[in-house]
Amino acid sequence: MNLTAVYVRQGEWIAAWIAEMPGVNTQAVTMEEARVNLRDALEMMLEDLRAETESELVGQEVIEREVLPLAA
């Protein structure tokens, strides 16, 4: 599975976001910085979602957890 990164020039800045993940966005001065920032934003979003899920599971019986591989 691949995600789509979108980069748009906005004045002196480059705005960047992931098309498939609303809320994962950033800005930077260079493309390299925008790519790094975008990966960081995605990682932070996933960490926040995991933490939110953990809090929602409190008091529930979790039957199993597994890594779900995503293949192309």
The average pLDDT across 19-31 equals: 96
Query: How many domains is the chain built from?
Result: 1
In a domain? residue 72: no
Residue 71 has pLDDT above 80, yes or no: no
Tokens describing residue 14: 């480059």
Q: Let me know if residue 59 belongs to a domain.
A: no
Q: Is the pLDDT of residue 42 over 80?
A: yes
Binned at pLDDT 50, 70 and 90, residue 16 comes out as very high
User: Considering the domain boundaries, does residue 62 fall inside one?
Assistant: no
Q: At which residue do the structure tokens 């789509």 appear?
A: 4
Its domain, for residue 25, covers: 5-53
Q: Is 17 a member of any domain?
A: yes
Q: Is residue 63 part of a domain?
A: no
- Is residue 49, in this structure, part of any structural domain at all? yes
- Please tell me the pTM assigned to this model: 0.83
Give the mean model confidence (pLDDT) for residues 43-66: 95
> Is residue 48 in a domain?
yes
Band (pLDDT 50/70/90 cuts) for residue 28 is: very high
Considering the domain boundaries, does residue 26 fall inside one? yes
Cβ neighbours, 10 Å, residue 69: 6
